[in-house]
């Protein structure tokens, strides 16, 4: 028993170092007890997160308490690569710093710190695309823009693009309200409505563009630039060319 | 053998019309006009051709567009909107985009043409400004041009407000608050246009009549006036060998200039068709139907309204009381700024004449470098409105470059005054240096006397300015029959 434990411990440590170095996606291979997993999560937490969130998760001046975050919030922040926070004013989406398995361990550990929402389940096929569009435009469009490309909020903050989010990340964001985003609990949006919204977000990832190039989805500003640079540009070249052509001089 | 050639059918028709209306006189006169050849004199045509395309595509759109605010439900082929409640106006615009044959490409060409209509007008106007073509006797045509610009901008705004999508609603809401902010008459203005509190039950139907009938008709009429004045006064030209205040050297309208114009029309159509077919514009299905309760931060107007939008974003939150009235904040960027802008544009020819003391007639153009003060002021003006335009997209810039919006707007407030001053200084210095290196060619007075010959020294066609169009033209004009 003891040797298995220590071998596992060594394995974990090696895996941790390698994954921290970004070399290997690791999976804790052997089935382990619940407390065992929480313990592994705790180790990951102590190394990667405690400097800001405190040894016991109650927070420090450089990071908030995680006691009410729950699995949903932890999943959102870890799966979108926002945690561990790098040197940035607002957490940004990055490639995740941890493997899926390590994320699971950390999520379980953060969930064990207190009470908070579980990772939401999304059944995309139950969602209604058009309803999702209506709900998205009224609840989310004001910050994330109608096309989902993201927009500025005040004081250097921004609502990011929603299209990179996978269904679970998106649902977790809706349910937990990360950063300046409001929380949309079950009283505000039913599970069915969340599924509809997430379906619409997936649709926005590559919406049909029957009219040709979408110009980044940012509306009249890029359209104005295209009109001036391509439109006026080519027409002025045409004028230069035609203006230089020599006419035959009538009947002379 | 000596029989006259049998008149062709078209000739007979032409003669039939001419016998009754005397059109040959006018036509020959116009066709024999000499038009000076400098490429920049063709810029105005670009606006004309854009307008033609606007009318053609606009008429197609009217067959399918339903300017009504009645409740309605979309049941067409765009899945993400099926079953959604909306106004009939927005529904018919969706149907135009997805369910009407060639509807989307027509919509897109129409909208691109609107952007280019105003843009080419701005370029044409810049040409007229920087070369001093607005000076006596052409002040009236300059003012007709400014009116056309205002009408085009207004009609563009009216156009994209019709579709009742979220962007048009946001634009209209701003229009509403500007109209309401006008002291004394604001409330009356608003009830006249909107028929009640925003959004108002009537606005789309009223805008529709304005957009497809009223303003286009006035634009067409004013284009006619613009051209008639041009024919009457004859075009200006740059100084050069054989060119004098008293003559016009270039090519006759028929056939040379007409062929060039037709070619340019085809090219304009080609560019607009390419844009309309290849680049999406105003994807209203993404914006969704207008909902007054929704306020989207990142909505911008079309470029030609962008400077107003930028001004609305840059203005500090001043509260002004005058004569016991609270003057609402949007009044300054929304009403005072365009008022002053267009008043200065209208008055420019007179202001300049006053400052320079030069009130004589001019048919020879200035090279921009020979008028450094005017050129510098023009450059400063472009910089000023350019900064306002960019400020309208401040939040898009802030997300694109990851800078805080507040920092972006503070920077724009500074740039709004620094950039025009700096660019004016640079333009002034450049003009001075260029003019020194390459002095202006003088009015070639020696040739004015040869004007009646109809041919300039270098073999080009030539008219004099006294109202005679050269000997052939006169000969043709008198003889009504061929
Ligand atoms: C006789 C001339 C015109 C007619 C008959 C006409 C007709 C129409 C109609 C029916 C619409 C709404 C349908 C739709 O776009 O889906 C429309 C939209 C529009 N119009 Fe016009 N129009 C004319 C001239 C102009 C002019 C001179 C401008 C601008 C300078 C202009 C700019 C616009 C714009 C920007 C839209 C929105 C287009 C879109 O996003 O689809 N139009 N026009």
Tokens of B278: 């290849």
Mean pLDDT (10-residue bins), chain A, 252 residues: 52 50 43 68 92 91 92 95 88 93 93 90 93 95 90 80 94 94 94 96 92 85 94 95 69 36
Residue contact B399–A236, C-beta within 8 A: no
Q: Which residue has the tokens 């149907």?
A: B95
SS (H, E, C) B316-374: CCCCEEECCEEECCCHHHHHHHHHHHHHHHHHHHHHHHHHHCCCCCCCEECCHHHCHHH
In the predicted model, is pLDDT for residue B1 greater than 70? no
Predicted pLDDT at B452: 47
Residue contact B404–A215, C-beta within 8 A: no
Total number of domains in chain B? 1
Angle, to 10 degrees, between the axis of helix B139-161 and the axis of helix B337-356?
170
SS (H, E, C) A113-169: CCCCCCCCCCCHHHCCHHHHHHHHHHHCHHHHCCCCCCEECCCCCEECCCCCCCHHH
What is the C-alpha separation between B257 and A238, in angstroms, rounded? 15
Predicted pLDDT at B481: 32
SS (H, E, C) B226-281: HHHHHHHHCCCEECECCECCCEEEEEEHHHHHHHHHHHHHHHHHHHHHHHHHHECC
- The DSSP element (H or E) to which A228 belongs, if any, is none
Other CB atoms within 10 A of residue B323 CB? 7
What's the gap between Cα B148 and its chain centre?
6
B212-271 pLDDT, tens per residue?
999 999 999 999 999 999 989 989 999 888 888 888 888 888 888 889 999 999 999 999
In the predicted model, is pLDDT for residue B357 greater than 50? yes
The Å distance, Cα B62 to ligand 1 centre, comes to 9
Predicted pLDDT at B294: 78
Domain coordinates of chain A in residue numbers? 30-112, 124-204
- For residue B464, the cross-strand partners are B247
Which one, of A212, A219, A170, A213, lies nearest residue A194 by Cα? A170
**Mean per-residue pLDDT for B1-21?**
79
The answer to whether the Cα torsion of B23, B26, B28, B31 is positive or negative is negative
Tokens of A181: 């985003």
Residue B275 in domain: yes
Kindly report the CATH number assigned to the domain that includes residue B58: 1.20.810.10
Whether B97 contacts chain A with CB within 8 A:
yes
Tokens of A147: 């096309």
* Length of chain A in terms of residues written: 252
What is the C-alpha separation between B305 and B284, in angstroms, rounded? 18
When mean pLDDT is compared across A234-248, B3-17, B367-381, the lowest value belongs to: B3-17
Which one, of B168, B174, B158, lies nearest residue B290 by Cα? B168
The Å distance, Cα B110 to ligand 1 centre, comes to 6
In this structure, are residues B329 and B317 in contact, taking their beta carbons and an 8 Å threshold? yes
Q: Count CA atoms closer than 13 A to B265's CA, side-chain side.
A: 12
Residue B469 three-state SS: coil
Which one, of A70, A66, A69, A91, lies nearest residue A81 by Cα? A91
In this structure, are residues A97 and A48 in contact, taking their beta carbons and an 8 Å threshold? yes
CATH architecture of A30-112: Orthogonal Bundle (1.10)
Q: Which residues contact B127 (CB under 8 A, 6 or more apart)?
A: B40, B41, B43, B44, B133
In this structure, are residues B170 and B297 in contact, taking their beta carbons and an 8 Å threshold? no
Chain B residues with CB-CB distance to A87 below 8 A: none
Q: Which residues contact B361 (CB under 8 A, 6 or more apart)?
A: B135, B136, B137, B245
Residue contact A214–B256, C-beta within 8 A: no
**Mean per-residue pLDDT for B84-101?**
96
Rounded to a whole number of angstroms, the CA Rg of chain B reads 26
Predicted pLDDT at B286: 93
* Length of chain B in terms of residues written: 482
**Mean per-residue pLDDT for B384-411?**
86
Which one, of B157, B299, B122, lies nearest residue A219 by Cα? B299
Angle, to 10 degrees, between the axis of helix B215-233 and the axis of helix B43-62?
150
Chain B residues with CB-CB distance to A152 below 8 A: 297-298, 394-396, 398-399, 404-405
Which one, of B268, B266, B271, B278, lies nearest residue B104 by Cα? B278
Predicted pLDDT at A218: 80
In this structure, are residues B158 and B211 in contact, taking their beta carbons and an 8 Å threshold? yes
C-alpha torsion angle, residues A73, A77, A78, A81 (rounded to 10): 170
B437-478 pLDDT, tens per residue?
988 776 665 554 444 446 665 667 888 876 544 444 333 322
Residue B333 in domain: yes
Max Cα-Cα span within chain A = 111
In this structure, are residues B46 and B268 in contact, taking their beta carbons and an 8 Å threshold? yes
**In this structure, which residue's CA is closest to atom 8 in ligand 1?**
B58
Predicted pLDDT at A249: 45
Nearest to A232 among B81, B116, B277 (CB): B116
Which one, of B478, B464, B475, lies nearest residue B234 by Cα? B464
Max Cα-Cα span within chain B = 93
- The DSSP element (H or E) to which B386 belongs, if any, is helix B372-392
In this structure, are residues A150 and A159 in contact, taking their beta carbons and an 8 Å threshold? yes
What is the C-alpha separation between B280 and B420, in angstroms, rounded? 33
In this structure, are residues B254 and B41 in contact, taking their beta carbons and an 8 Å threshold? no
- For residue B73, the cross-strand partners are B85
- For residue B321, the cross-strand partners are B326
- Provide the percentage of residues in chain B whose pLDDT is more than 70: 90
- For residue B252, the cross-strand partners are B34
Residue B186 in domain: yes
Other CB atoms within 10 A of residue B339 CB? 12
Strands B237-238 and B364-365: parallel
Which residues are near ligand 1 (CB < 6 Å)?
B 54-55, 58-59, 61-62, 65, 93, 96, 107, 110-111, 114, 117-118, 152, 155-156, 159-160, 162-163, 211-212, 216, 282
Residue B155 in domain: yes
Which one, of B371, B364, B372, lies nearest residue B240 by Cα? B364
CATH architecture of A124-204: Orthogonal Bundle (1.10)
Q: Tell me which residue range forms the domain holding B140.
A: 35-308+324-343
Tokens of B189: 């203005």
A30-112 against A124-204: fold identical: yes
In this structure, are residues A219 and B167 in contact, taking their beta carbons and an 8 Å threshold? yes
The answer to whether the Cα torsion of A116, A117, A118, A119 is positive or negative is negative
**Mean per-residue pLDDT for B59-85?**
95
Predicted pLDDT at B35: 87
SS (H, E, C) B153-167: HHHHHHHHHCCCEHH
What is the C-alpha separation between B277 and A212, in angstroms, rounded? 6
Residue B179 Cα distances to A174, B172, B188, angstroms = 39, 10, 9
Whether B467 contacts chain A with CB within 8 A:
no
The Å distance, Cα B178 to ligand 1 centre, comes to 23
Supply the mean pLDDT for chain B: 88
Predicted pLDDT at B6: 66
Predicted pLDDT at B402: 75
Contact residues, B window 324-363, toward A, CB-based 8 Å cutoff: none
What is the C-alpha separation between B9 and B53, in angstroms, rounded? 31
When mean pLDDT is compared across A73-77, B27-31, B70-74, B206-210, the lowest value belongs to: B27-31
What's the gap between Cα B8 and its chain centre?
41
Residue B400 in domain: no
Predicted pLDDT at B446: 56
The Å distance, Cα B161 to ligand 1 centre, comes to 10
B175-194 pLDDT, tens per residue?
888 888 888 888 888 888 88
What is the C-alpha separation between B366 and B369, in angstroms, rounded? 8
When mean pLDDT is compared across B149-153, B273-277, B445-449, the lowest value belongs to: B445-449
Predicted pLDDT at A96: 95
Contact residues, B window 25-84, toward A, CB-based 8 Å cutoff: 37-43, 46, 78-84
Judge residue B16's burial from the number of C-beta atoms within 10 Å of its C-beta, 0-12 exposed, 13-18 middle, 19 or more buried.
exposed
- CA-nearest residue to B254 within chain A is A250
Residue contact B267–A235, C-beta within 8 A: yes
Predicted pLDDT at A6: 56
Q: Indicate the pLDDT class of residue B140, thresholds 50, 70 and 90.
A: very high
Residue contact B399–A151, C-beta within 8 A: yes
Residue B366 in domain: no
The answer to whether the bond into A84 is cis (omega within 30° of 0) is yes
Phi, psi of A199 (to 5 degrees): -60, -40
- For residue A126, the cross-strand partners are none
Tokens of A93: 């989406």
């Amino acid at each position: 028993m003891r040797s298995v434990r220590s071998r596992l411990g060594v394995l974990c440590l090696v895996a941790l170092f390698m994954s921290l170095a970004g070399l290997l996606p690791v999976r804790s291979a052997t089935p382990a007890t619940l407390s065992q997993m929480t313990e592994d999560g705790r180790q990951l937490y102590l190394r990667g997160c405690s400097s800001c969130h405190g040894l016991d998760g109650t927070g420090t001046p450089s990071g908030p308490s995680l006691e009410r975050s729950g699995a949903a919030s932890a999943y959102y922040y870890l799966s979108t690569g926002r945690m561990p926070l790098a040197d940035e004013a607002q957490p940004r989406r990055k490639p995740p710093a941890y493997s899926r398995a390590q994320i699971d361990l950390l999520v379980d550990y953060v969930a064990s710190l207190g009470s908070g929402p579980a990772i939401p389940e999304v059944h995309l096929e139950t969602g209604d695309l058009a309803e999702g569009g209506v709900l998205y435009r009224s609840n989310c469009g004001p910050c994330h823009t109608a096309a989902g490309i993201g927009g500025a909020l005040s004081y250097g903050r921004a609502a990011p693009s929603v299209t990179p989010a996978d269904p679970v990340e998106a649902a977790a964001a809706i349910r937990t309200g990360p950063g300046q985003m409001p929380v949309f609990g079950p009283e505000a949006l039913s599970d069915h409505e969340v599924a509809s919204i997430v379906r619409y977000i997936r649709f926005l990832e590559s919406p049909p563009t029957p009219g040709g190039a979408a110009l980044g989805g940012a509306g009249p500003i890029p359209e104005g630039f295209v009109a001036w640079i391509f439109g006026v540009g080519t027409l002025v070249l045409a004028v230069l060319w035609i203006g230089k052509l020599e006419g035959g001089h009538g009947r002379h | 053998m000596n029989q006259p050639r049998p008149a062709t059918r078209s000739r007979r028709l032409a003669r039939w019309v001419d016998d009754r209306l005397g059109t040959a006189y006018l036509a020959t006169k116009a066709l024999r006009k000499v038009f000076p050849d400098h490429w920049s004199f063709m810029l105005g045509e670009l606006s004309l051709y854009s307008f033609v395309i606007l009318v053609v595509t606009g008429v197609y759109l009217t067959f399918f567009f339903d300017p009504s605010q009645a409740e309605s439900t979309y049941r067409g082929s765009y899945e993400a909107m099926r079953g959604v409640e909306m106004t009939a106006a927005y529904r018919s615009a969706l149907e135009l985009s997805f369910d009407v044959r060639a509807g989307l490409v027509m919509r897109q060409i129409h909208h691109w043409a609107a952007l280019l209509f105003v843009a080419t007008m701005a370029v044409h106007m810049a040409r007229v400004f920087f070369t001093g073509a607005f000076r006596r006797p052409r002040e009236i045509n300059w003012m007709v041009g400014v009116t056309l610009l205002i009408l085009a901008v207004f009609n563009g705004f009216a156009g994209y407000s019709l579709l009742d999508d979220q962007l048009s609603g946001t634009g209209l809401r701003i229009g509403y608050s500007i109209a309401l902010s006008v002291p004394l008459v604001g409330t009356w203005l608003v009830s006249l246009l909107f028929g009640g509190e925003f959004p108002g039950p009537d606005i789309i139907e009223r805008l529709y009549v304005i957009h497809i009938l009223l303003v286009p008709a006035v634009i067409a009429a004013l284009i006619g006036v613009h051209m008639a004045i041009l024919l009457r006064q004859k075009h200006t030209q740059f100084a050069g060998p054989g060119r004098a205040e008293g003559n016009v050297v270039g090519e006759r309208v028929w056939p040379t200039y007409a062929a060039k114009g037709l070619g340019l029309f085809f090219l304009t159509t080609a560019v607009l068709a390419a844009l309309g077919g290849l680049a999406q514009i105003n994807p209203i299905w993404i914006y969704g139907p207008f909902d007054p309760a929704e306020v989207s931060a990142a909505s911008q107007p079309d470029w030609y309204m962008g400077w107003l939008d930028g001004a609305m974003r840059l203005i500090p939150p001043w509260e002004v009381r005058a004569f016991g009235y609270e003057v609402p904040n949007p009044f300054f960027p929304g009403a005072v700024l365009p008022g002053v802008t267009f008043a200065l544009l209208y008055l420019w020819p007179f202001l300049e004449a006053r400052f320079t003391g030069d009130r004589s007639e001019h048919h020879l153009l200035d090279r921009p470098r020979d008028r450094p003060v005017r050129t510098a002021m023009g450059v400063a003006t472009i910089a000023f409105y350019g900064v306002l335009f960019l400020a309208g997209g401040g939040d898009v810039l802030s997300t694109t470059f990851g800078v805080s919006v507040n920092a972006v707007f503070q920077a724009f407030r500074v740039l709004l005054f620094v950039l025009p001053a700096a660019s004016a200084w640079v333009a002034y210095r450049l003009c001075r240096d260029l003019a020194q290196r390459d002095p202006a060619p003088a009015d070639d007075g020696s040739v004015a006397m040869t004007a009646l010959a109809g041919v300039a020294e270098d073999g080009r066609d030539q008219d004099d300015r006294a109202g005679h169009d050269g000997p052939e033209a006169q000969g043709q004009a008198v003889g009504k029959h061929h």
